[in-house]
Amino acid sequence: MINSLVFPRPSEAFKFASTRFDGSRKSKYSKPRMELTLTQPDDWHLHLRDGDLLQAVAPHSAKHFGRAIIMPNLKPPITTTAAAVAYRESILKALPANSNFTPLMTLYLTDTTSPNEIKLARRSGVVFAVKLYPAGATTNSQDGVTDLFGKCLPVLEEMVEENMPLLVHGEVTDPDVDVFDREKVFIDTVLQPLIQRLPRLKVVMEHITTMDAVRFVESGEEGFLAATVTPQHLILNRNALFQGGLQPHNYCLPVLKRETHRQAIVSAVTSGSKRFFLGTDSAPHEKQRKECSCGCAGIFNAPVAISLYAKVFEEAGALDKLEAFTSFNGPDFYGLPRNTSKIKLTKASWKVPDSLSFSFGNIFPMFAGETLEWQPCVGEKAEMLNEVQEVGANKG
């Protein structure tokens, strides 16, 4: 729902193209401002880390999202259901007292994962997917898979039986393959053969970055092949890594690509397709681990993600399709109920903090120090806005 609000005057609603606007009487004291009401989004790809870092960043995701698929690439990785249950408890303890945020756990697939572990995961009620990291592809992936078809086929077959999704970091690790081509080569050499061999396996291609990935996802069967998309890959291209000097806080994996790829991804997610849904890949690192001779990959976008997604959809003229991308497509793919709570986004400028300080150091959020145009609010603030809007409508 899209509303155009003006305070203190009430508004008169009219409908346009299945989206509600409120046309407001202008006054010399106030200007109309747009407001979105969305079903509370979920984050289908999130890194919360552990220890002090978990305590620092978990509240930022819990503030805006109802649920999140939690990545298992810790040290040591979350390879068993028992470890996933324990990690879930750590996350719950890190949340604010009044939080309703629900972590949806995943297992880290290895060459030695057993089919029985998949059975245990499904019966646990807390594990919702298995993550495939090709060994060496990204942060803490050294324990990942070295031979998917040779060593993991029985596990994949059990996942089909249990209707357990496979979440894929889609890049080859062959050093002879150019870093900007690794997603395409992975599609051709791993994902295409996988889908052909196990067509009933539910697969999510995570954080897609290329038009090749868009075409691949669109070519698959709806309900069995989908993709998550990050704010950074919708807004930035690879120039952002080098403008004004090396920009370590824009470095992530998969790495940012050409502008033509960015445009293809924007077109896909704003088209209304059910195959694409929100996955921030928010991946925090302490400042010194980003600004060093060998900096870590990952962008901490949890505080700004919702605002940035709204920016992308607004610029594409597709705000009426934002809610499906943020709030419907993900749970529908996973077979989970949609959230019933709401979140409000107001078209109002706000400044992203320059950094977030903690006892262990600083974390730089995406677009640190920049001004964004969509400000989210949830919970009591959202309810207050609802009440103001209803009172205004009744008086009008």
Residue 281: active-site member? yes
Domain of 224: which CATH number?
3.20.20.140
Residue 60: active-site member? no
In this predicted structure, the answer to whether residue 203 has a pLDDT above a threshold of 70 is yes
> Tell me, what's the pLDDT at 14?
27
> Could you read off the pLDDT of 84-120 as tens digits, one per residue?
999 999 999 999 999 999 999 999 999 999 999 999 9
> Could you read off the pLDDT of 214-235 as tens digits, one per residue?
999 999 999 999 999 999 999 9
Domain count, the chain: 1
> Tell me, what's the pLDDT at 21?
38
* Reported pTM: 0.89
**Cα(394)–Cα(346) distance, integer angstroms:** 21
> Could you read off the pLDDT of 164-195 as tens digits, one per residue?
999 999 999 999 999 999 999 999 999 999 99
> Tell me, what's the pLDDT at 380?
53
User: Residue type at 122?
Assistant: R
Q: Tell how strand 361-363 and strand 102-108 pair up.
A: unpaired
Place of tokens 């293809």: 264
In a domain, 112, yes or no: yes
In a domain, 222, yes or no: yes
Decide: 8 and 30 in contact? Cβ < 8 Å: yes
Q: Which of 60, 169, 202, 233 is catalytic?
A: 169
Lowest mean pLDDT among 29-38, 231-240, 288-297: 29-38
Q: Three-state secondary structure along 284-309?
A: CCCHHHHCCCCCCCCEECCCCHHHHH
Helices (H), 28-80: 51-64
Residue 207: active-site member? yes
In a domain, 245, yes or no: yes
First-last CA distance in the chain: 19
User: Residue type at 358?
Assistant: F
% residues pLDDT > 90 (the chain): 84
Q: Which residues have a Cβ under 8 Å from the Cβ of 53 and sit 6 or more positions away?
A: 284, 286, 360
Residue 287: active-site member? no
Q: How far is CA 137 from CA 133, 151, 191, 358, 386, in A?
A: 7, 18, 15, 29, 45
> Tell me, what's the pLDDT at 144?
85
Q: Which of 22, 42, 43, 47 is catalytic?
A: 47
> Could you read off the pLDDT of 65-75 as tens digits, one per residue?
999 999 999 99
Q: Which of 43, 184, 281, 344 is catalytic?
A: 281
In this predicted structure, the answer to whether residue 318 has a pLDDT above a threshold of 60 is yes
> Could you read off the pLDDT of 132-151 as tens digits, one per residue?
998 877 776 777 899 999 99
In a domain, 89, yes or no: yes
Instruction: Enumerate the β-bridge partners of residue 20.
Output: 15
Identify which has the larger pLDDT, 359 or 14: 359
> Tell me, what's the pLDDT at 11?
33
Q: Which of 60, 63, 64, 131 is catalytic?
A: 131
**Cα(282)–Cα(298) distance, integer angstroms:** 7
Decide: 331 and 308 in contact? Cβ < 8 Å: no
Per-residue burial over 194-218, b = 16 or more CB atoms within 10 Å of its CB, e = otherwise = bbeebeebbbbbbbbbbbbbbebbe
In a domain, 6, yes or no: no
In a domain, 242, yes or no: yes
Decide: 275 and 216 in contact? Cβ < 8 Å: no
pLDDT, mean of residues 31-56: 94
Q: Which of 45, 64, 257, 261 is catalytic?
A: 45
In this predicted structure, the answer to whether residue 323 has a pLDDT above a threshold of 90 is yes
In this predicted structure, the answer to whether residue 1 has a pLDDT above a threshold of 90 is no
Domain extent at residue 126: 35-391
**Cα(359)–Cα(368) distance, integer angstroms:** 19
> Could you read off the pLDDT of 334-364 as tens digits, one per residue?
999 999 999 999 999 999 999 999 999 999 9
Residue 261: active-site member? no
Residue 249: active-site member? no
Identify which has the larger pLDDT, 23 or 252: 252
**Cα(310)–Cα(345) distance, integer angstroms:** 8
Decide: 40 and 65 in contact? Cβ < 8 Å: yes
In a domain, 21, yes or no: no
In a domain, 322, yes or no: yes
Q: Which of 207, 257, 261, 285 is catalytic?
A: 207
Decide: 347 and 33 in contact? Cβ < 8 Å: yes
